[in-house]
Amino acid sequence: MTRSIKYPILITSILLVSLITSKSFGQPANTNPTKPIQGQTMQLTDEQWKERLTNEQFNILRKKGTERAFSGMYDEHFDAGTYTCAGCGTVLFQSDTKYNSGCGWPAFFNFIPGTINEHRDTSHGMNRTEVTCAKCGGHLGHVFEDGPRPTGLRYCINSASLNFVSDSTK
C-alpha cells in the first residue's frame, strides 16, 4: 500500500523538477559577440542548408570545400566592419584583425572569443587545424602559426563562409 502511494509522488516530483530546470537549457542566439557559444546550437539537414546557402557556400561550409586562391570577394577587402558566418550570422571576426597575408584568402590574426572551434584535419595528406563556426559547425578554413603579432596566428578563411557588415551601415 505504501509503495503505491510513494511512486506517484516520486513521479510527480521528477516531472516538476524537469519542468523547472528545462527552462535553463534553452540556448538563445549569440546576440553578445563576446559571450562564448556553448555547444553547437544550430543543426539543420543538408536539404535545409541548401535552401539557405548558394551552391558554393554549401560546398564550403557544409562539405569542407575550399574556394580558389585569390577568387574570394573578401581576400583584398579592408573596409571597417565585422565579418559574420554566412551560415548562421554569428559575428566571427572584426576588420581590425584582418591583414593582407598574400595567401589568396581572407586572413585574420584573431577572432571573437568563443565563436570558433578548432579541429585537427589530416585530409589531403596534410596536418592542419580546421576552424569551424561554434554555433552552426560550418567549415570556415584553417589556422596556421605564421601570422603577425600579437597572436602569431593566421586564420585563413574562405570568403564564401563569410558575410561582411560595414560599420557605416550600423
Cα torsion at 76, 81, 82, 86 (round to 10°)?
Answer: -60
Q: State yes or no: is 156 an active-site residue.
A: yes
Question: Can residue 138 be called a binding residue for Fe ion (CB under 5 A)?
Answer: yes
SS (H, E, C) 91-143: EEEEHHHEECCCCCCCEECCCCCCCEEEEEECHHHCCEEEEEECCCCCEEEEE
Shortest reach from residue 138's CB to Fe ion, in Å: 4
Which residue in the set 37, 136, 143, 153 belongs to the binding site for Fe ion (CB under 5 A)? Answer: 136
Shortest reach from residue 68's CB to Fe ion, in Å: 22
Contact region for Fe ion (CB under 5 A) — 33-41, 88-96, 117-125, 154-162?
88-96
Cis preceding-peptide flag for 8 (omega within 30 of 0): no
Contact region for Fe ion (CB under 5 A) — 26-34, 80-88, 102-110, 146-154?
80-88
Nearer to Fe ion, 12 or 32 (CB): 32
Give one DSSP letter per residue of 9-25, joined into a string. HHHHHHHHHHHHHHGGG
- Chain residues that interact with Fe ion, rule: CB under 5 A: 85, 87-88, 90, 133, 135-136, 138
Catalytic residue set: 156
